[in-house]
């Protein structure tokens, strides 16, 4: 496994996250000031936050697996039966 493959589980690597807006930078700075005892460098924390948000954004737009869709349909059917 190459260094960039860790945790991707067969998915292509996420694109480089966009540069944060000034509002995001201000929010990151506020969070960093609240965590004075943090062990990581503030720039590292900010980059990790951007990468994590980009990764989650990618997951949000993935289709629901068929097995999960079937289970959800079964759950909804049972709920309708109770009503």
pLDDT band, very low/low/confident/very high, at 3 (cuts 50, 70, 90): very low
pTM tops 0.75, yes or no: no
**More confident site: 65 or 29:** 65
Give the pLDDT score at 12: 59
**What whole-number distance in Å separates Cα of residue 65 and Cα of residue 34?**
39
**What whole-number distance in Å separates Cα of residue 6 and Cα of residue 13?**
10
Any domain includes 43: yes
Residue-wise pLDDT for 12-53, tens only, equals: 565 666 677 787 777 777 766 665 555 788 889 899 999 999
**Number of structural domains found in the chain:** 1
Q: Which domain holds residue 67?
A: 16-82
Give the pLDDT score at 61: 86
Any domain includes 39: yes
Buried/exposed 20-35: b ≥16 CB within 10 Å, e otherwise: beeeeeeebeeebeee
């Amino acid at each position: 496994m190459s260094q960039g493959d860790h945790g991707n589980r067969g998915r292509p690597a996420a694109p480089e996250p966009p540069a944060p807006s000034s509002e995001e930078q201000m929010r990151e700075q506020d969070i960093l000031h609240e965590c004075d005892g943090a062990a990581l460098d503030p720039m590292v924390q900010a980059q990790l936050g951007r990468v994590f948000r980009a990764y989650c954004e990618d997951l949000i737009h993935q289709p629901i697996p068929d097995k999960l869709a079937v289970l959800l349909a079964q759950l909804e059917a049972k709920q309708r039966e109770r009503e």
